[in-house]
Structure 1
Amino acid sequence: MAGMGTLLVSLSGLTDGDDADRARAVAFAAELDRRGVPLTHLVQPRAAGVHPLRRGDDLVRWIAGRIGAGDDLLLHGYDHTADPVGAWQNGSVPRIGRRTEFGALPRHEAMLRLTAARRILTATGLSADGFAPPGWIASAGTVEALPELGFTLCADEATVRSTMAGGPILRARVLTFRSSEPWLRAERATGGRRTLAQQALRLSRRTGVVRIGLRAKDLRKPHRVEAALDAIDAARGAGAVGSVYRAALPASAAAA
């Protein structure tokens, strides 16, 4: 599918959001529906200070309904905190912050977190065999742990790859509204919103894969929603077809 031009749109951060965030997500998903573009939901099953996701929660029901209509889900960490699940508090492993929960974990600790996250997710009736690490950064230990636990796909900052040894890799950098993004700094300097669309158009023509990653808090800013939709429209205009991460790799590699 990547050879045709592929557009991948993801949304994270709803687990620790509120009803207003969910309403904005529903509205954004409706805009994608009008464009024929599915959404990949990045779900952390537990948020710090918030009860874990539970079967029957409004958010769980909405995501399940979206998946039934063509969306998909990737596991997006456990709780996004820097505190460990296991006993590695001897200082040998650096903690690099909430947004990069899996960015420095050894294999054993990654397995503990992944197992705990999957247990909660499964209890809700949802499931995932693909992983997108918080901050889009996965340590070598995390990458090693994924196939051992049955995960078939990992989407990081610069690639979408099969977890199988020698499996296919799509090289495409995810476009986000993180403050470190060079394009976002340029957009602030010019005062325009077209920079993201220009980036999407360039990537569509150069690599054939456009990845746009949004957070729930991005949807709180109308100009970011407009910028994302402009970029989606630009990619579609260049021939990119909306897809989900699971379908971006060959079926033989992405199948569970």
Structure 2
Amino acid sequence: MNAELIVSISGIRDTTTDAAFEFAEQMDRRGVPLSLLVAPRLKGKYRLLDDPATQEWLRSRRAGGDAIVLHGYDQAATKRRRAEFAALPKHEARLRLTAADRVLEQVDVRTRLFAAPRWNASTGALEVLPELGFRLALGLTSIIDLERNTALKSRVYGLGEGFRAEPWWCRALVLGAARTARRGGILRLAVSAVQLQRPGPRQAMLDAVDLALFHGAVGATYRWEPFPAARAA
């Protein structure tokens, strides 16, 4: 059985769009769609609402087959040394998710898919997601179907945003991607747009994708599959 290859980019903003755009073009040439992890706010007072160029790019990429994934609200640590949603109680998670959801709806890239910053969501966050209409939660080692209450085991191989990006890790990522592609299943590759600005990590991600394709992997995006009856209707 051929592996399914899911490639995601995070940290897309005004200062990283050139690298993200160029990498997306490389993926287009390879026939690999992207999953774009989007946060309404980022460090340095970045606001997606104030960035019409990135908004337009996100809309055009989704129209072309890419997936949009909500990636937190502002990615600020809510506790020392913890990612934004890693330790949030249910009430606070609801507030942040609701605010983020409204922004994405306002810029016409609303999604029912969620990946917490650094792929780490608290129990409270996971509990409130389906109540707000989210259908898929992406964790570091699993993809959770919130409607069916099932989890598919699959680990993220990443560069940046919580993952290392030194040369030895880049080599390990490429080798790990090749092993997973040979075995079949789901190969999840993640890269931050900041790391795509660096030649080493960028080339490592391209090499990982190329090796996966060489071993027969097929490009895909994060997605939620409707129930059979709903699909038929």
TM-score relative to the length of structure 1: 0.82
Which residue is 2:202 aligned to?
225
Q: Deviations over 1:178-209 (max 9, x none)?
A: 49758x67826xxxx54322100111233511
Query: In 2, Cα distance between the equivalents of 1:187 and 1:51?
Result: 32
Runs of 4+ more than 4 Å apart:
178-182
Determine if the alignment matches structure 1 residue 187 to structure 2 residue 168: yes
2:160 paired with 1:172 = no
The one of 81, 92, 100 equivalent to 1:117 is 100
CA distance, structure 1, for counterparts of residue 49 and residue 102 of structure 2: 11
C-alpha contact (below 8 Å) 2:160/2:192 kept by paired residues: no
1:1-256 equivalences under 5 Å are 4-15=2-13, 17-18=14-15, 21-54=16-49, 57-83=52-78, 95-97=79-81, 100-167=83-150, 169-178=151-160, 187=168, 194-246=171-223, 250-252=225-227
Question: What SS is found at the alignment partner of 1:54?
Answer: helix
Deviation per CA, 1:137-195: give whole Å up to 9, x if none: 0000010010000000011100111012433x22111011249758x67826xxxx543
Q: CA RMSD in A?
A: 2.4
Identity %: 39
Q: Give, in whole Å, the separation in 2 of the partners of 1:59 and 1:157.
A: 26
Distance (whole Å) between structure 2 residues aligned to residue 239 and residue 78 of structure 1: 36
**For 1:57 and 1:120, how far apart are their aligned partners in 2?**
13
Provide TM-score, normalisation by structure 2: 0.90
In structure 2, relative to structure 1, the CA distance for the partners of 1:51 and 1:196 (3 Å cut) is closer
Structure 2, gaps ≥5 residues long: none
Distance, in Å, in 2 between the alignment partners of 1:180 and 1:58 is 27
1: CA distance between counterparts of 2:167 and 2:96?
37
CA distance in 2, matches of 1:115, 1:60: 19
Deviation at 1:55, TM superposition (A): 7.5
* DSSP 3-state at the match of 1:77: coil
Alpha carbons of 1:107 and 1:23: their partners in 2 closer, same or farther (altered >3 Å)? Answer: same
Name which of structure 1's ranges 67-76 and 197-206 shifts more when overlaid on structure 2.
Answer: 197-206
| Contact in 1 for aligned 2:161/2:192 (Cα 8 Å) | no
2:178, 2:212 within 8 Å by CA — same for their partners in 1?
Answer: yes
Output one character per residue of 1:77-97: Cα deviation in whole Å (capped at 9) or x when no partner: 0001135xxxxxxxxxxx144
TM-fit CA distance, 1:126: 1.3
Against the structure 1 CA distance between its residues 96 and 138, is the aligned structure 2 distance closer, same or farther, given a 3 Å change threshold?
A: farther
Structure 2 letter corresponding to 1:218 = Q
Question: Is 1:4–1:241's contact at 8 Å kept on the other side of the alignment?
Answer: yes
Counterpart amino acid of residue 53 in structure 2: D
